[in-house]
Amino acid sequence: MQTLKQLGKQSFLTSGPSFPPAPANVINHRKRPLGARSGLLPLTLFNKVRNYRAAAEVRALGLYPYFRTISSAQDSEVTIKGKKVLMLGSNSYLGLTNHPKIKEAAKAAVEKYGTGCAGSRFLNGTLDIHLELEQALARLVKKEAVLLYSTGFQVNLGVISALVGKGEYVLADKCDHASIVEGCQASQGEFVRFGHKDMAALENRLRNIDPQAGKLIVVDGVFSMEGDIIQLPEVCRLAEQYGAAVMVDDAHAIGVLGESGAGTSSHFGLTDQVQLSMGTFSKSLASLGGFIASDAATIDYLKHHSRPLIFSASMSPANTATVLAALQIMLSEPERIAQLWRNTERMHQGLISLGFDLGNSETPILPVYCRDLVATFKFCKLLEEAGVFVNPVVSPGVPPGQEMIRISLMATHTDRQIDFALDKIGKIGKKLGLL
């Protein structure tokens, strides 16, 4: 078993083995390595599986923080192991996941359309409510057309891989979401990265690309771990100067930034300078799925070239109706966004007053930097025991040495809940030597 000090220096999700690998000739059926076959060559494909130890080591320390089971609705408080816990790890920024009108909309959709579409949008899986939702989203983000995908991950994977071809380039911020990275790697173009929000580096990359080549710059509007906002005006200025298109991932900006929660482009008044706006439904909009918004010709092209769209089942009726209901509430109750920002300010100022480092966060996502893997896991565990749920973020979610607990606010958090959390976070932070 590794010491805590040794474990704290490795990448939790991508670490190599800490014990010798299991012998390849072990054939006892109870102890046989996964994939080993009696009398045949060993399946070396599974060596990485047999050699993976990091999760088991953290479990043995009693600090494993993932796949925690919740037995209640996602709300400002949840139930874990029969105990009420304050939820500070949810992306439900507007607090709509348990809203009665939204649950009624889901029930009504199931009554009318059933539970699934049994096919892709391309073939038999397009419902009239899919079109209704696409039109509503297009009005929100002020684009000609919208295309729905079954998950937000599929949007980035499907859009980037379809648009960036051979001899073309896709440029991405190093802190962009993993789904953007996957989309860039799946494209046939050249994938170029630049330092986080480093506009000089972005310009340098653009300057060294053939001026005639197709270029797409993809950035998060709100970065999901750091909580900071891309300097979109400068991105758009460089894009125009060097003949590049801009795509903004607004997964964490819809319902948070911009007019009526329309996102980052709206926040900066740059809707017309951003060619592609992406959003998801699993955060502010209380459902599951995602969308891309653009001009009508681009959307039509994606309908016929985006493989994750064409070869995946469409959004379920309940999920689609849920988003429509959530949009209506977001637009009719602007006080929710205002309350979200009041809660954010209260928590932000409280954490700063306690002495925590929040980096450059400027949104409801508040990273509390621990900069140590084991300390991060301990912080998470002790907070849960004290009645506060937070998310630990370690490599590869952030670079080694930048480990944090990630706090996210909801519009439905009360002052009492925030103050309770600050009290627990402060006391445990001191106990762990983080303050």
What residues act catalytically?
224, 252, 283
C-beta of residue 283 within 8 angstroms of C-beta of residue 91: yes
Tokens of 138: 């297009």
| Residue 215 to residue 191: CA distance in whole angstroms | 10
Q: How far apart are CA 399 and CA 383, in angstroms?
A: 23
Exposure string over 88-116, b if 16+ CB within 10 A, otherwise e: bbbbbbbbbbebeebbebbeebeeebeee
3-state secondary structure of 148: strand
Distances (CA, A) of 203 to 228, 239, 261: 20, 9, 30
How many angstroms separate the CA atoms of 34 and 46, rounded?
7
- Rounded to an integer, what distance in angstroms lies between the CA atom of residue 310 and that of residue 76? 37
- Cα–Cα distance, 399 to 391 (Å, whole number): 16
If you count them, how many residues does the chain have?
A: 435
According to DSSP, the residues that pair with 245 across neighbouring strands are 216
Sort residue 258 into left (φ over 0), alpha (ψ -120 to 50) or beta. left
Q: Rounded CA gap, 247 and 143, in Å?
A: 13
Q: Give the C-alpha separation, 375 to 157, whole Å.
A: 34
Closest CA to 51 of 96, 76, 87, 14: 14
Contacts of 31-40 spanning 24+ positions with Cβ under 8 A = none
